[in-house]
Amino acid sequence: QVTLRESGPALVKPTQTLTLTCTFSGFSLSTSGMCVSWVRQPPGKALEWLALIDSADDKYYLPSLKTRLTISRDTSKNQVVLRMTNVDPVDTATYYCVRTYWDTRQEFDFWGQGSLVTISS
């Protein structure tokens, strides 16, 4: 069964770098068509897709945040890491790790429970 779990700090100071880790099971990111994305949701607001990494280790980012984001993977550990530099209070949100199986076009079919990150001094 597919599961994803986010982990990382609950509180980060402005201008610092946020690092979040997604640990997943039930699938391999080496399988053709598999992708993992990060999606965030500020309190009371809408979902926002941030970044995606696929089975070929290709990486894609929301253009407006591209300069601040880095997504990477450790296939042997079944982990995907998101780094966001120079955080601001507007980056306060629940961050979700999400799977896509592109071969069947099943977009965001499995979600982690989310990790609430507050940006505050």
Partner 1 sequence: QSALTQPASVSGSPGQSITVSCTGTSSDVGGYNLVSWYQQHPGKAPKFIIYEVSKRPSGVSDRFSGSKSGNTASLTISGLQAEDEADYYCCSYAGNSIRLFGGGTKVTVL
Residue closer to partner 1, measured from CB, 28 or 113: 113
Quote the least distance from Cβ 9 to partner 1, whole Å.
20
What is residue 9's DSSP assignment? -
In a 13 Å sphere around the CA of 101, the CA atoms on its Cβ side amount to 10
Residue closer to partner 1, measured from CB, 63 or 76: 63
Residue closer to partner 1, measured from CB, 4 or 81: 4
Transcribe 52-89 into DSSP letters.
EEETT--EEE-GGGTTTEEEEEEGGGTEEEEEE-S--G
Which residue ranges make up the site for partner 1 (CB under 8 A)?
Answer: 37, 39, 46-49, 52, 54, 58, 60, 62-63, 96, 105-114
